[in-house]
A and B are shown apart, each in its own frame.
Chain A
Amino acid sequence: MHPKIRELDTLLRQVERPENGPHRTPVSTGCGPLDVVLPGRGFWRGSLVEWLGNGPGCGVGMLALWAAREACREGGALVVVDPQDHFYPPAAAAGGVDLANTIVVRGARCRQVQEAARQSEWALDQALRCPHVAAVIAWPQRLDSRVFRRWQLAVEASGCLGLLIRSAEAKREASWADVRLLVSPERTIGPAPRAMKWRLQVEVLRCRGGVQQRTVGLEIDERTGDIHATHPGGLAT
């Protein structure tokens, strides 16, 4: 290999290394089996994580919320940007989120849908820039690449963990997120199991620094909320 190309390759690898950022400390995903497969055993502060939900009722928001809960453990506020007014706080509180430390940005009263979307984007941008915000959860609909890049720079500067929950249809779109995950429910074959557990599957579509496995099967206990891998070592089917 040409020395110049080798040097360029080395530099690229250095840039790609997640621990290079100013706020690069790991934070648990709130989901043990997922921590195992991610580099640094969790997400990096100052990064964007894109959660893609494969259809309704797949539990993607809940997993994102638990990650946000972990990010706030060491201090910092949680901001929920919810322009559609769907966020149900009692569910978040039941999941261990401290509502006293949570700011919810509801839908602005705008006549035009585009204006409302722009306002939400702006609110998300402001929250991501705030150094005392530990995590931001949002449900952006469509994303302009420039806006996405701006958010990435914002989280890098502030050290905030940005959690963007989107539909699986966004899989085809370009992404500036450090980690991109696809969450799908696991199909029940045959008679329904008696165990009080919800089975989900998380596919790591993209991750800076690479991953050990691409798919993780999860089993969530109804009563305690404990999460286990469906197969030892976090390997899924």
Chain B
Amino acid sequence: MPRILAVWLPNWPIQRLLYDKPALRRRPVILQHRTRRGLCVLACSHAARRQGVQAGLPIAEATAVMLAVDSRAGREALRSAVAGQSAGQPAELHVETHDLRKDQAAIRKLAIWCHRFSPLVGLEESPAPDTLLLNVTGVIPLVGDEGTLLEQVMRSFRQHGLEVRLGVAETVGAAWALAHFQPAGELDANEPCRSETRLRQLPLAALRLPAEMVDILMRLGLCQVGQLLELPRVELESRFGPQLLRRLDQAFGKVAELIQPVQPPLDFMVEWLFEYPMPQRRAVEQVLRRLVEQLCFALADQGRGALRLRGRIRCQDADPVTWEVGLFRPSADQEHLWRLVETHFDRLPLPGPATSVVVRATQHERLRTRQRELFDQQQRNIDSPQIANLIDCLASQLGAAAVVQCLPRHDAQPERAFRNVPLVDAGKGGRKGPVSEVACGPLDRPLQLVHPPLLLDTVSAASDGSPVSFHYLGGRHDVARHWGPERIETGWWRQRGVRRDYYRVETREGRRFWLFYCLQERRWHLHGVFQ
């Protein structure tokens, strides 16, 4: 018989906030959210509730309530001080905007943590889940009995400062209902027949029905689940739709309800512990190679490829040696990964005999597989596996910042008209999106940019301001013709604005250069060579 344990975390947004910021535990805390009526209280802590704040109250009212309480407490404190008695200072109200994503992420983490109690853990079906569902069917004999398991779960959550309510039943619906609506004192294990009896006595909201439907049913005089069971099913379905019967059947086990499992993130880590400190580098290298092979096998088994590998070699009486390898695209190819790791290992000095070696895929993705085409010409682009291997190899040896893709930017300042995006930049959203068009003629810009611009010592200029001759690389260049000026005046918002008049010039020898006259400095610079 299946046994499902539901763990409800009442007031989860507040619990999550207090868990993240323990300093707020002694203060009244309000979580606000924006509604059609403006900012309202979504949830509040016990301390705030004691002062009269409720969920749904407009924030202005809630703050006013708390201010009134504060002033009253302040007066009492003052009176106590005058009377020579000690009195606690009123705690300051803390108001924060609700973050649903943080709540969701935190409860998912909690679900992963709960794998210590059950191999199958899921969350309730809700956009803002606050209940964990654990399938403990085969687990109970391992810990003794159901009561022991409940005690263990309760104690573990309390150790983390989390308040929970538990419910065990043979269906997800019943367990959920018992966790939410069972009186707090009755946490003992429920026999199947007893849980069904209890379920009949619970209010209609225990069936996980929408609030509007519960409201209608209550106006019809139906308050308990048992009352619904006495009504003809056909009429219930025709009046309230299929949802009501589905929830009812799920609670009583007539319709199966599956727990959508929350899987713990895949952790690809391999480790080797030497029996005694290993002084031979060659032996450490062999171990490292074997670990990389094991890791590749584990990755390939899950259809994953490593994007970033991190390794650590612990040495006797010395700090551990670490290295990291980034990849352009996910790979589980043993030879390729070993080549990259070997490049780093060759450069690593081992300060002492090695005691352990750990290799971990800190970032991994699903392996991309593509069917081969008859003519592989179309696959010979930057995304092909061979190019990916080349990029990995280059980045591993030269550094990730040295292997880049240059993307044009819409910036008038020439040196800012592109950006270098490292190709091996996993996790930072490196090479993405199409490359924007460049709006200039084939000979408008030089292929070789001189950066920073080279200050030209001697330039003679004509009356219209165009250059006539200049000195560069020890020689005099007489300008035969020029194109310009092209005024570039930009960057004032960067605090270092530029005001330049650019000229493309062709010398008497037919050489082409890109010069500019800086209007701020009143000097000539060479910025490019048409090489």
Q: Measuring CB to CB, which residues of chain A are less than 8 angstroms from any residue of chain B?
A: 53, 55-62, 65, 74-77, 79, 85-96, 98-109, 119, 122-123, 126-127, 130-134, 165, 184-188, 192-193, 198-200, 220, 222-225
Contact A105 B403 (CB under 8 A): yes
Partner of A133, one of B387, B401, B402, B423: B387
Bound CA–CA A119/B441 (angstroms): 34
Docked-complex contact B405 and A102, CB < 8 angstroms = yes
Q: Is B458 an interface residue (CB 8 A)?
A: no
* Nearest CB in chain A: distance from B412 CB, A: 11
Answer whether residue B244 sits at the interface, using C-beta atoms and an 8 A cutoff: no
Distance from B54 Cβ to chain A, minimum over Cβ atoms (Å): 57
Closest A-B pairs by Cβ, 8 of them: A185-B510, A57-B511, A225-B442, A89-B406, A75-B380, A88-B449, A192-B481, A91-B445
Nearest B residue to A223 by beta-carbon distance? Answer: B441
Q: How far is the CA of A10 from the CA of B397 in the complex (A)?
A: 45
Interface SS of A by simple majority = mixed
With contacts A93-B438, A95-B447 known, what are 20 further pairs, Cβ within 8 A? A53-B531, A61-B531, A77-B381, A86-B449, A88-B528, A100-B382, A101-B381, A104-B420, A105-B398, A106-B402, A106-B420, A119-B397, A130-B387, A132-B390, A134-B380, A185-B510, A187-B509, A187-B510, A192-B506, A225-B443
Q: Is B184 located at the chain interface by the 8 A CB criterion?
A: no
Q: When chains A and B are docked, how far (Å) is the Cα of A130 from the Cα of B450? A: 30
Which residues 491-531 of B sit at the A interface, judged by CB distance below 8 A? Answer: 506-513, 528-531
B472 within 8 A of A: yes
C-alpha spacing A108/B442, complex, angstroms: 30
Q: What are the residues of chain A within 8 A of B450 when measuring CB–CB? A: 86
Interface contact tally, CB-CB below 8 A = 201
Determine whether B444 belongs to the interface, using a CB cutoff of 8 Å to chain A: yes
A53, closest chain B residue (CB): B531
Cβ-based interface call for B391 (8 A): yes
Q: Is B378 positioned at the interface, with any CB of A under 8 Å from its CB?
A: yes
Residues of chain A with a CB closer than 8 A to B420's CB = 104, 106
* Neighbouring B residues of A87 by C-beta, 8 Å: 447-449
Size of the B side of the interface (Cβ < 8 Å), in residues, is 62
Interface residue? B393 (CB, 8 A): yes
Q: Would you call A58 and B531 a contact (CB within 8 A)?
A: yes
Tell yes or no: B408 within 8 A of A by CB: yes
Residue from A56, A94, A106 within 8 A of B529 (CB atoms): A56
CB distance from B472 to the nearest CB of A (A): 7
- In angstroms, Cα B423 to Cα A146, docked, is 31
Measured between beta carbons, the chain B residues less than 8 angstroms from A105 are 394, 398, 402-404
Is there a chain A Cβ closer than 8 Å to B65's Cβ?
no
Shortest B516–chain A CB gap in Å is 14
Docked Cα-Cα span, A60 to B440, in Å, equals 20
Tell me the bound Cα distance from A40 to B451 in angstroms: 40
**Contact status A57-B378, CB under 8 Å:** no
Residues A126 and B390 in contact, CB atoms below 8 Å apart: yes
Write out the residue numbers on chain B whose beta carbons fall within 8 Å of the beta carbon of A187: 508-510
Contacts of A85 in B (CB 8 A): 451
CA distance A68 to B442 in the complex (A): 15
The 0/1 profile, CB within 8 Å of A marked 1, for residues 403-420 of chain B is 111111000001001101
Provided the pairs A108-B398, A131-B386, A132-B384 are in contact, do residues A99 and B406 lie with their beta carbons within 8 angstroms?
yes
Given contacts A56-B511, A108-B402, contact A224 B390 (CB under 8 A): no
CB closest chain-B residue, reference A107: B402
A167 CB → nearest B CB, Å = 10
